[in-house]
Chain A
Amino acid sequence: MRIPILKLHDYLLISIQVELDDQTAIQFQQDLLEKIHETGVKGVVIDLTSVDMIDSYIAKILSDVVRMSSLLGAKVVLTGIRPAVAITLIDLGITLKDVPTALDLEKGLEKLQQELEG
């Protein structure tokens, strides 16, 4: 399973719509980094609106991909984290404190625009 990565103007958009098994998550990590490298985009939004569960393994993959992307010069914003997911992440003791987040895709793009252009 491959998660589609869309390019929109100077950004990459990813909406995670599938159950994230380990293989898919790792593949996504690689695909995203390659796409950032290939396109030279400066901003990425990963939308998690459809994701109903994030365990510590997936949380690690997501926070790793944010840091890896920043090594390639791209800023990643996670959007659409559901209330139930936020609560379970805190139960797990995972704060994702260095990971930029926004309420939804629109606000995520705004955030990127402000930080990249402003």
Chain B
Amino acid sequence: MRTQSCIKIKNEWNIVQARQLGRDLSKQLGFQTVDQARITTAISELARNIYLYANDGFIKVEPINDMGKLGLKVVSSDKGPGIKDVRKAMEDGYTTSGGLGAGLPGVKRLMDEFKIHSQEGVGTEIVAIKWLR
């Protein structure tokens, strides 16, 4: 089985690759169709944010096992400008780019666990987990 995989995001095509990785890995792990779509969509949102706001960064996807509880962990990291007001960025509809502002709050709802750490001038790291049911 494919274990941890990492994709460098620097162009639009890499967003598609990251999505594909999420699709493959979630299927391999035995996630149901709806959760496969949730994971793939979450990865797409995170990868696009890297591309749009940080220029480049990484999406890492890996299976995890927490005392017998299986899941898939998605880590998005970049050394971009960071997010000034994370609380605001997590609000539905908040966007600085004319988007829908649905990405970050959406990823939080699509996944089971969500942590964001961002510092202005340093970068952004987001860790999101979906547990296998």
Question: A: which residues have CB within 8 A of B?
Answer: 19, 21-23, 52-57, 59-60, 82-85, 87-88, 91-94
* Shortest Cβ distance from B32 into A: residue: A84
User: Do residues A54 and B34 form an inter-chain contact, with CB atoms below 8 A?
Assistant: no
A88–B38 CA distance with the chains assembled, in angstroms: 6
User: Do residues A52 and B99 form an inter-chain contact, with CB atoms below 8 A?
Assistant: no
**Majority secondary structure, A binding face:** helix
B contact residues around A88 at 8 Å (CB): 34, 37-38, 41, 110
User: Do residues A56 and B100 form an inter-chain contact, with CB atoms below 8 A?
Assistant: yes
B contact residues around A93 at 8 Å (CB): 92-93, 102, 105-106, 109
Question: B: which residues have CB within 8 A of A?
Answer: 12-13, 15-16, 19-20, 23, 33-34, 36-38, 40-41, 44-45, 48, 92-93, 99-100, 102-103, 105-106, 109-110
User: Do residues A92 and B110 form an inter-chain contact, with CB atoms below 8 A?
Assistant: yes
User: Do residues B99 and A57 form an inter-chain contact, with CB atoms below 8 A?
Assistant: yes
Q: How far is the CB of B42 from chain A (nearest CB, A)?
A: 9
Q: Beyond A55-B45, A87-B37: 18 further Cβ-contacts under 8 Å?
A: A23-B12, A53-B19, A53-B37, A53-B41, A54-B41, A55-B44, A56-B45, A56-B103, A57-B100, A82-B37, A83-B34, A84-B37, A88-B38, A91-B110, A92-B109, A92-B110, A93-B93, A93-B105
A103–B89 CA distance with the chains assembled, in angstroms: 34
User: Do residues A59 and B34 form an inter-chain contact, with CB atoms below 8 A?
Assistant: no
A59-B100, A93-B92 known; A53+B40 contact, CB < 8 A: yes
User: Do residues B15 and A92 form an inter-chain contact, with CB atoms below 8 A?
Assistant: no
A85–B33 CA distance with the chains assembled, in angstroms: 10
Q: Pick the most buried of A55, A91, A93: most chain B CB atoms within 10 A of its CB.
A: A55
B contact residues around A21 at 8 Å (CB): 12-13, 15-16
